[in-house]
Amino acid sequence: MTIRPNFASLAAIATLAVSGAGVASAQSTLEIVKERGHLRCQVGSPSPGYYMLDTEGNWYGLDVSVCQAVAAAIFGDPTKLEIQSVSTQSRFTALANGESDMLSRTATWTLTRDSQLGIDFLTPNFYDGQGFTVRKDSGITNAMQLKGAKVCVTTGTTTELNLTDFSRANDLGISAVTFEDFNVRDDTYVNGGCDAVTGDKSSMAGNMAAFPVPADHMILPVTLSKEPLAPAVRHGDNQWSDIVRWSVFALINAEELGITQGNVEDMRANSKDPNVLRMLGAESNLNEGLDLEKDWAYNIIKAVGNYGEIYEKYMGDGEQGLGIAREGSLNALWTNGGLMYSPPMR
């Protein structure tokens, strides 16, 4: 897996828009990716649970697993992948202009983003909501106590817009203190520059673990917003959208069917369930419309496991996890009261 540093400049991206557009019009994204020999998948700056770097410089996390799943679906090899770490300000431009083949990072699916930026959001791989982190000794236990407060927030995000809406709707007069880098945002809050910090609750839980004394802080119970975090692709290439969309659905469907990274070979060889056999390519032709090999879904589960395994490892109680309970949350399977649901794979 190749690691890509932050983008050089918007000017360079603009140049790509001219040169890349002509290529994209002549070739499908799948053809370009196959010809290149690897997938270019965009994430953000390291964020616990979603995309982090280990001591050897390898990326891991929930969103990285989606990148690996798509690479496995195409090549049968999750390492045929270039991870691009892109700034919040450049992320959508970079995708639309062709520098990235797909985006898999904590990006919220909204109407304007989906309809005005030349990109398409696909099925969410995590449902989150925005909240506030405060110091326990502040005496603040309710968001309505933030009247007139200074709140640290990352600029250029739905988080910033939601904060403004929440303040206006409740006549709180909150002053937003904006930052491009969430690390600078959090440092400012920890050092007393803000009364609170706001962001997606899952991200704040991970970031809080790096505070000097995490136990001195807490996330308020209020949830300001709906944050369906979903991968995205360029608008206009329906086959590519299908490949990325159904790669995520394969993760979810595998969990529902009880297919794991450890038993996927046995399930393909010995299962009597037609749903399992179709999904893993032992029978039928689910691959034809995607222009992939018959074992594309098998390769995904063999490479990264099912959705539940990935969640436990990076968001749940796994060694690298954030300790965010899945039971009773929107991220549970639909059979357990959540929103994680795959259309039939048939």
Q: Answer yes or no: is pLDDT of 15 > 90.
A: no
Name residue 81's amino acid.
Answer: L
pLDDT in tens, 37-79: 999 999 999 999 999 999 999 999 999 999 999 999 999 999 9
Residue 163 lies in a domain: yes
Residue 344 lies in a domain: no
Last residue of a domain, one of 225, 252, 277: 225
Whether residue 140 sits in one domain with residue 86: no
Whether residue 235 sits in one domain with residue 196: no
Give the count of domains, the chain: 2
Q: Answer yes or no: is pLDDT of 7 > 70.
A: no
Residue 342 lies in a domain: no
pLDDT in tens, 105-117: 999 999 999 999 9
Last residue of a domain, one of 208, 225, 242: 225
Mean pLDDT, rounded, for 170-194: 95
Which tokens belong to 85? Answer: 């770490």
Query: What is the spatial distance between Cα 135 and Cα 255, in angstroms, rounded to a whole number?
Result: 38
Whether residue 301 sits in one domain with residue 221: no
pLDDT at position 13 = 39
Range of the domain at 171: 130-225
Whether residue 214 sits in one domain with residue 242: no
Residue 346 lies in a domain: no
The whole-model pTM stands at 0.87
Whether residue 310 sits in one domain with residue 256: yes
Phi–psi pair at 18, nearest 5 degrees: -75, -50
Query: What is the spatial distance between Cα 254 and Cα 257, in angstroms, rounded to a whole number?
Result: 5
HEC sequence for 42-84: EECCCECCCEEECCCCCEECHHHHHHHHHHHHHHCCCCCEEEE
Q: Answer yes or no: is pLDDT of 1 > 70.
A: no
Last residue of a domain, one of 199, 225, 251: 225
Whether residue 93 sits in one domain with residue 53: yes
Counting residues of the chain whose pLDDT is more than 70, the rounded percentage is 92
pLDDT in tens, 232-250: 999 999 999 999 999 999 9
pLDDT at position 182 = 87
> Between residues 174 and 322, which one has the greater pLDDT?
174
Residue 343 lies in a domain: no
pLDDT in tens, 282-300: 999 999 999 999 999 999 9
CATH label of the domain that carries residue 282: 3.40.190.10
pLDDT at position 21 = 43
Residue 274 lies in a domain: yes
Whether residue 109 sits in one domain with residue 35: yes
Query: What is the spatial distance between Cα 228 and Cα 113, in angstroms, rounded to a whole number?
Result: 13
Whether residue 301 sits in one domain with residue 239: yes
Phi–psi pair at 288, nearest 5 degrees: -65, -45
Whether residue 59 sits in one domain with residue 118: yes
Query: E strands within 112-263?
Result: 119-121, 126-128, 130-135, 150-154, 175-179, 196-200, 217-219, 227-229, 232-234
Whether residue 146 sits in one domain with residue 72: no
Residue 149 lies in a domain: yes
Residue 268 lies in a domain: yes
Query: What is the spatial distance between Cα 150 and Cα 214, in angstroms, rounded to a whole number?
Result: 20
Q: How many residues are present in the chain?
A: 346
Whether residue 98 sits in one domain with residue 243: yes
pLDDT at position 206 = 86
pLDDT at position 11 = 39
Counting residues of the chain whose pLDDT is more than 90, the rounded percentage is 85
Whether residue 283 sits in one domain with residue 318: yes
